[in-house]
Amino acid sequence: MTATDNTLFASEDRPVDLVPSRYALRIGDIEAMVISDGVLPLPTATMATNVAPSDLAAWLDDMCMPPDAFDWPLNVMAVRSGSQTILIDAGLGGQFPGFPRAGLFPQRLQAAGISLESITDIIVTHMHMDHVGGLLVPEVRSRLRPDVRIHVSETEVAFWTSPDFSHTVMPAPVPPVLRTTATAFYNAYREQLQTFEHSREVAPGVTVRITGGHTPGHSVVDLVSGDERLTFAGDAMFPVGFDHPEWQNGFEHDPEESTRVRIGLFEELAQNRGLLVAAHLPFPSLGRIARNGDAYRWVPVIWDF
């Protein structure tokens, strides 16, 4: 570089995606990849709706986070088990003008060498727009195979026929968009839906199970092979939840049940020492859980390749 250069890459050499935003790992015989769909700018007030604003402000300051708004990470996963390629959640999609830095999983999936045409199964943890919106992008829908199987709990599908937002604390424009997106997803894919009551083994070692809480039909996905395991926890937990598992998120449709589910999953993971990935933890969102008095401690994995 010359003294006048102020970027690492000359324009003609600049990668399309400076940060690849994918992290590959193995869970025994299962291949897995965490993929960032981007970030969602949201008000910090949604992170904790049952505590004094001063308590949340103190936590944000202690975590070196901005006081008013933050970039909420959004992660999905791709999994290969046996002959099946499974997508876990599908991100936001590009149809929401207020979120220009989300909806990136299709190109990042392609950059990782995984074609949309190769996906045999999709697991939807819940039907919020940042988990199903990506499936409504025309370029995505047209490339998915017509016999793709989409796994979502019966309870979740039933809930979105007449959703209850009475216990949520969301920005006012959000609930109507959540309703219309969930309806559009159901109408587009009703023939491909494979609903389950409690749990289902989607592929060898890949099981989705209902937890409820965040939405009535919210589910998590367990990858288990040999002595290794990973849980994709969807929206069961957020960054503040480790220090304050009792703090409730504004997007939770049943805050009290969400607290119970969150603590139950933390306890489960602290005991089995399995890996955790969640939709809204900072990318690559991969670590383990340890107890820390009455709360919990996030233990990030050491990067490996």
Domain map of the chain by residue range? Answer: 22-300
Q: What residue has token string 């309703």? A: 179
Provide the edge-to-edge strand list for the sheet that holds 199-203.
199-203, 206-210, 219-225, 228-232, 275-277, 287-292, 295-300
Three-state DSSP at 25 gives strand
Q: Beta strands 149-153 and 287-292: pairing type?
A: unpaired
Distance CA 120, CA 79 (A): 10
Within 8 A by CB and 6+ apart from 12, the residues are: none
Topology at the third CATH level for domain 22-300? Metallo-beta-lactamase; Chain A (3.60.15)
Task: Round to whole Å and give the CA distance between 198 and 124.
Answer: 14
**Given this model, what pLDDT does residue 12 score?**
61
Any residues with CB less than 8 A from the CB of 227 and at least 6 apart, and which? 28
Q: Which residue has the tokens 């995505």?
A: 140
Q: How does pLDDT run along the chain (305 residues), one tens digit per residue?
A: 344 445 555 556 666 677 779 999 999 999 999 999 999 999 999 999 999 999 999 999 999 999 999 899 999 999 999 999 999 999 999 888 888 899 999 999 999 999 999 999 999 999 999 999 999 999 999 999 999 999 999 999 999 999 999 999 999 999 999 999 999 999 999 999 999 999 999 999 999 999 999 999 999 999 999 999 999 999 999 999 999 999 999 999 999 999 999 999 999 999 999 999 999 999 999 999 999 999 999 999 998 76
Contact criterion met (CB below 8 Å) for 90 and 134 = yes
| Residues 241, 56: Cα–Cα separation, whole Å | 12
Q: Which residue has the tokens 């049952």?
A: 50
Q: How far apart are CA 33 and CA 75, in angstroms?
A: 10
**What pLDDT is recorded for position 7?**
55
Catalogue the E-assigned strands of the chain: 22-27, 30-43, 69-81, 84-88, 121-123, 149-153, 193-196, 199-203, 206-210, 219-225, 228-232, 275-277, 287-292, 295-300
- So what's the pLDDT on residue 2? 41
Residue 9 has a pLDDT of 57
